[in-house]
Amino acid sequence: MAKIANKITAAVTLAYIVFFGAATAFGNKSEVSDTENRRLAKLPKITAEKLYNGDTSKELGTYITDHFAGRSLWLSAKTALQTELSESIVNGVYVGKERLLDVEASHRAPISVNADIFSRYAENYDGTVYFAAIPASSGVYGDTLPAYIDNRSDSQQISALYDFLDSDIRKIDAYNILKMLKDNYIYYRNDTKWTSYGAYCVYKTVVKKLGFQPISYDKYAIEHVTDEFRGNLYNKTLSKKTEADIIDIYEYPEGAEVLTCVCTRADGSKFEGSLYDRSRLASSDMYSMYLGESVPFMRIYTSANTDKKLLVIKDSYADCFIPFLVQHYSEIAVVSPEDMEGSISDHININDYGQTLFLFGVENLGDRKTLEKIIERK
Amino acid sequence: MVYSSLLFIYGFLPVSILLFYITPKKLRELTLLFLSIIFCGMISLYFLIFMLAFTALNYGFSHLISRLRKNEKAAAIPLTVGIIIDLASLIIFRTDYFTRLHDFMRAPEGFFPVGISFFSLAAVGTLIDIYKGRIKAEKNIVRFSLYFMFFPRLIMGPLLRYGVFRRILDNRRETPANIGIGMTLFVKGLAKKVIVADDLYILYTAVQSQNVKEISAVTAWLGIIGFVLCLYFNLSGFADMGMGVAYCFGYRMPQSFNYPLVSTKIKYFAARWQSQVIQWLRRYVTKPLYGVCRHRWIKELVFVFGWTLFGIWYTFSANGALWGLLIGTAVVIESRITKRKIMDITGIIYTAFVIIICFVFIAGSSPAYSGRYLLAMLCGNGVIADSQAFYLLKSYIVLLLAAIYAASDLFRNLMTRSGKKKVKTVITAVSTLVVLAALIICTALLSYSGSSEMLIMKL
C-alpha cells in the first residue's frame, strides 16, 4: 500500500516538475511584463569573468524566475498566501485594508548627503531656486504600518535635506501640507505617488512662493479619465485587495492654452508632445498619461499673457503637477535627469529661465549619479 | 544555487534525475560526480576549482599516510600537515580576519565555500581514520571526490565518516518507490525552509530591529521563540532536502535532526540536534580525551569543552562558544540532579525553557546584547506586553503553533504507533496530494525572487 502510494507520489511530482520546467524552458518569452510594468531579464551572456564569480548562474536564476510559466498567477498566489501566513508584508509592500504601502522606504540611505548638488546648482545660477521634496505615500500614511517599521523617515529625511540646502534656495514644506490633508484623496492607494488633488494642494503653496495667485479649485473642470489605475505597488504584489485608483485631469477652460509641447528624446530626435496622452490609458503604465512618453526634455509654450519662463527639474512625481503651472508662464522647460544623458549644460542654458523649481519624490532623491547630471562637470 | 530555488527545483533536479537514470548502472556514480561538478561550477567556477584542489590535496595526503603507515612517526607528518591545511581552510573562510588572503587567492568578492564546515571536518576525520588504520585509503577517485562534492550533501551535510559514506554508496537501491520517498522528503524540507523558516525569520528580525532596552517581555519571548524555530527549520529543512535528493538516487543518508526541540530531557535534545556533528566531535575530540581522564568531573569538563567547540563551529564567535558552554553545562547539571524519570509534559516544558534561554546567546550579536535581551525577557524593561507585542502575536500565532506541532514528533508517532489501520490508510492515500500541494505553495512563495537563500548561519 505504502509502496504504491510512494510510486504515485514519484510519478505525480516528477510529472508536475517536468511540466512546469519544460513550459518555462520552451514557452514564449516576452520582453516586458504588463502586470509588473517592467522589463524582464534577458538570457545571460556567458563570459569567463561571470563564470568565475558565479554571476552566470545567478543571472540564469533570475531569467528562469522572470520567465517562469504562469508567473503572474504565481505572484498573486504568493500575495494571498503570505498575508495569511504572517504579517501583511509581501515583497517589501504592506498590504493594508485601504492601501498598499512601501515598507522598504525605511531602509533607504540618507538623502541629505546629496544636498551639495543643489547648492552647487544654485551657485552657477542667476535666478531663484525653489525646492519641493514630496514624501511617498508611506511617509504620509505611515501610522497605519506596524509600529516597528520606522514610518517617520520621510519627514525626517526631508527636514534633514532642507537643513543642508543652501539658504538661498526657497524650500517648500510639502510634507506638512499633505499630512494635514491626509483624509482626502491625495495619494493613490496602489502607488507611492500623489494624486492630482495632492499635487493641486501643494501647487497652491508653490505658486504663491513663485509669485502668483493660485487658480481656485472651483474653476477647474475635473474629468475622471479612468478608475482602473493600479500603480507601482500593485506591480510588486499583484494584490487586488485594495480598490483601484482614479486618475483625474484638471482643465481650466477660461485659462491660457498650451500652444505647443516640444519633446526631445535622449538620442536628440524631437516630436510634438502634449500634457496628456490618453492613449497611455490603454497601456500597463496608466500614470504615464501625464506628459506622455518619458523624455529628458520637454518645452511647453503657452498662450499665457506673460514673458516669464520656468525651468522644472523633476522626476515622475511632477508629471501630474506641471499641468497646473502652465497658467502662469509663457514657457516651461521640463528636465528629467533620469532620462537624460550627459549633463544639463550640454542641452540647455539654465540662465534663460528666471526661476528653477526642483520637484522630486523622496524615493528618487537618493540617486546621486542621476542627480549629479544637473551640475556642471569640472 | 541552493536547493530552495526555482532553478534547482525545475531545472537542475529533473535534469539530474533524468541523466542519472539513463546512464547504465555501472557508470551512475560517475554521472553523479559529473552532476556535482556542474552544481559546484554553478555556485561559481572559483568554488569548483577550490573543491577540486581540496579533494586532490586530501587524496594525496590520504595515500601518503597509508604508504608511510608502517612507520608511525613518519606517517604523523603528512597527517599533521593535512589536518592543519583542512582546519586552516575552515578558519580562513569562516571568519572575517583573512580578507587579504582571500584577495591574494583571487577569490571573487564575498566568496564563501558552501558547506566548508562539513567537508573540512570530514577530511580531518578521514585522515585520522587512515592513520589509525580503521579504513584503507580510497583508491577510487570518483568515490573520494563524491565524498566531498556529492551535491545533496554539500549544503547541510550530514557529516559522515568515510566508512559510513562508502557503505551508503554500496547500498544504492534505485526504485520508483524510493524516488517517491525522496520527493516527499525533499518537499518536506522545502516547506520547512520556505513556508516556516522564512516567515519566522521576519518575526525574528522585526524584534531584533527594536531597541533591546525598550521591548516588552512578550515581544522578547516571541522573538527568541521565532529564532529557535527558524534556526531549527532552516537547518533541518536543508538537511531534509539533501536527504530527499539523495533518496531519489537510491541512497539512504542518516538524518541530522531527530525532533530535538520537543524532548523530555536536555540530554535528549543534545543527542538529537545535528547529531552527526556531535558524533564527529565525540569520535575525534572528546572520546580520546575521556580515555585519559579518571575522575567524573574531568570527564564532564571534557564534555562541556566538546559542546563549546560545537558552538564555536556554528558561529566562530564568543556567542556561539557561550551557547555551547551553557548547553553542555546544562546537560551535566541535569545528569547530576535528576536520577528519576520525570513526567513527560513537565520534562518537555523544562527542557524547552532551558533550550530557549541558551539560544538567546547564539541569537545575539554580542554576549552583552544577549544578557540585555535575557533581562528584557524577564520583564527587565518594565513592560509585559505592548501594542507591538499584540500585533506580532496576532500575526504569527498560527504559524508559531503550526511550527511547534511540526517540530514535535506527534505526527510521526501517529503514523508509526497508530493501531488503527484506517488512520494510516487515509494518510497514505492523501499523502501524494499533500506533497503536491506543498510543492505548489512553496513555488508560489518562491515566485517573486526565485530563490530563498536566507541562511541564518553560513555553514
Cell of B428: 497514505
Interface mutation target, options A7, A9, A18, A33, chain B, most CBs of B under 10 Å: A9
Tell me the C-alpha distance between A250 and B34, whole Å.
Answer: 66
**H helices then E strands: how many in chain A?**
12, 15
8 Å CB contact between A316 and A91: no
Q: Inter-chain contact B396–A77, Cβ cutoff 8 Å?
A: no
SS3 content of chain A, % helix, strand, coil (to 5): 45, 20, 35
Tell me the C-alpha distance between B182 and B187, whole Å.
Answer: 9
In a domain, B424, yes or no: no
Distant-in-sequence, close-in-space partners of A347: CB < 8 Å, separation ≥ 6: A264, A296, A297, A340
Beta-sheet pairing, A297-302 with A331-335: antiparallel
Cell of A178: 499633505
Tell me the C-alpha distance between A341 and A344, whole Å.
Answer: 8
Is A151's pLDDT higher than 60?
A: no
**Domain extent for B139:** 6-172
Q: Average pLDDT, stretch A280-307?
A: 90
8 Å CB contact between B263 and B351: yes
Q: Inter-chain contact A6–B184, Cβ cutoff 8 Å?
A: yes
In a domain, B117, yes or no: yes
Which pLDDT does position B169 carry in this prediction? 93
Q: Inter-chain contact A78–B109, Cβ cutoff 8 Å?
A: no
Print pLDDT tens along chain B (459 aa).
889 999 999 999 999 999 999 999 999 999 999 999 999 999 999 999 999 999 999 999 999 999 888 888 888 899 999 999 999 999 988 888 887 887 787 878 878 888 899 999 999 999 999 999 888 888 999 999 999 999 999 988 789 999 999 999 999 998 999 999 999 999 999 999 999 999 999 899 888 888 888 889 999 999 999 999 999 999 999 999 999 999 999 999 998 898 898 888 888 899 999 999 999 999 999 888 888 888 888 889 999 999 999 999 998 889 999 999 999 999 999 888 876 666 688 888 989 999 999 999 998 888 999 999 999 999 888 888 888 888 889 889 999 999 999 888 877 777 776 666 777 778 778 889 999 999 999 999 999 888 887 777 777
When CB atoms are compared, the residue of A12, A64, A86 closest to B432 is A12
Q: Please state the pTM of the whole predicted model.
A: 0.89
DSSP string, A308-356: -EEEEEE-GGGGGTHHHHTTT-SEEEEE-GGG--S-GGGT--GGGSSEE
Q: Looking at CA atoms only, how far is residue A59 from chain B in angstroms?
A: 10
Q: What is the total count of domains within chain B?
A: 1
Q: Inter-chain contact A148–B210, Cβ cutoff 8 Å?
A: yes
In a domain, B158, yes or no: yes
Which pLDDT does position B63 carry in this prediction? 93
Q: Average pLDDT, stretch A46-74?
A: 89
When CB atoms are compared, the residue of B45, B180, B444 closest to A51 is B45
Which pLDDT does position B232 carry in this prediction? 94
Q: Inter-chain contact B436–A7, Cβ cutoff 8 Å?
A: no
Tell me the C-alpha distance between A31 and A9, whole Å.
Answer: 36
Is A184's pLDDT higher than 90?
A: yes
SS3 content of chain B, % helix, strand, coil (to 5): 75, 0, 25
Asked if A75 reaches chain B (Cβ–Cβ under 8 Å), the answer is yes
Distant-in-sequence, close-in-space partners of A254: CB < 8 Å, separation ≥ 6: A219
Torsion of CA A274, A278, A279, A283, to 10 degrees: 120
Which pLDDT does position A50 carry in this prediction? 85
Which A positions 76-115 lie with beta carbon below 8 A of chain B?
Answer: 77-78, 81-82, 85-91
Spatial strand order of the sheet with A170-172 comes to: A170-172, A128-134, A355-361, A309-314, A331-335, A297-302, A258-264, A270-272
Tell me the C-alpha distance between A155 and A42, whole Å.
Answer: 39
Q: Average pLDDT, stretch A68-78?
A: 91
Asked if B230 reaches chain A (Cβ–Cβ under 8 Å), the answer is no
Asked if B86 reaches chain A (Cβ–Cβ under 8 Å), the answer is no
Tell me the C-alpha distance between A196 and A202, whole Å.
Answer: 10
In a domain, B140, yes or no: yes
Which pLDDT does position B425 carry in this prediction? 78
Q: Inter-chain contact A87–B180, Cβ cutoff 8 Å?
A: no
Torsion of CA B256, B258, B260, B262, to 10 degrees: 160
Buried b (16+ CB within 10 A) or exposed e, A336-365: bbeebeeebeebbebeebbbbbbbbbbbbb
In a domain, B342, yes or no: no
In chain A, the residue whose alpha carbon lies closest to the alpha carbon of B209 is: A148
Tell me the C-alpha distance between A4 and B177, whole Å.
Answer: 7
8 Å CB contact between B440 and B287: no
- Cell numbers 538529537 label which residue? B272
Sort out which chain A residues have CB atoms less than 8 A from B4's CB and list them: none
DSSP A41: P
In a domain, B340, yes or no: no
Q: How many CB atoms lie within 10 A of CB B405?
A: 11
Tell me the C-alpha distance between B277 and A305, whole Å.
Answer: 83
Question: In what helix (H) or strand (E) does residue A216 lie, and over which residues does it extend?
Answer: none
- Cell numbers 518537499 label which residue? B187
Cell of A162: 532642507
In a domain, B164, yes or no: yes
Chain pair A-B, CB pairs under 8 angstroms: 163
Sign of CA dihedral A302, A303, A307, A308: negative
Cell of B439: 510543492
| 3-state secondary structure at position A134 | strand
In a domain, B286, yes or no: no
Tell me the C-alpha distance between B280 and B371, whole Å.
Answer: 31
